[in-house]
Amino acid sequence: MVNFVRNTKMAAAVKFICVLGFLAVLSIAVIERADGASACGKASPDEEAFKFAPCAAAAQYEKAAVSNSCCQQVKRLGQNPTCLCAILLSNTAKSSGVKPEVAITIPKRCNFANRPVGYKCGAYTMP
């Protein structure tokens, strides 16, 4: 009887250790997956938003001219509308005074024929 109790406790301890090990491996896998899993690849939308400094005026005022350097940055990320949208809605963009309803018009104002027309970006749709 003593051996049975000892074996049962040992088996329970082994199962507990296995479950803890599995949870540790699962947690590491989730953390690794989250690292670099932003809409913009390894860079966060907030980090990418800093590259859009040339678009500051054009993202606040619809009548403002869009500079060539702004169009180049938008074209670089325009192939990935998910990233572009994440940048426009990022905390960095908001704190910089970007108006998403205006910023979303920049690809059209740059005269990009191959822009993501109709793409939903939060409450906004790309024209």
pLDDT, mean over the chain: 79
Q: Over the stretch 53-112, which tens digit does the pLDDT of each residue have?
A: 999 999 999 999 999 999 999 998 778 999 999 999 999 999 999 999 999 999 999 999
**Out of 1.10.110.10, 1.50.40.10, 1.20.1600.10, 1.10.3210.10, which CATH number does the structure's domain 45-125 have?**
1.10.110.10
What angle do the packed helices 81-88 and 68-78 form, to 10 degrees? 130
Domain extent listing, the chain = 1-35, 45-125
Q: According to the model, what pLDDT value does residue 3 have?
A: 58
pLDDT band at 38 (very low <50, low <70, confident <90, very high): confident
Q: Is the dihedral of CA 22, 27, 28, 30 positive or negative?
A: positive
Residue 33 scores a pLDDT above 70: no
**Contacts (Cβ under 8 Å, ≥6 apart) of 61:** 102
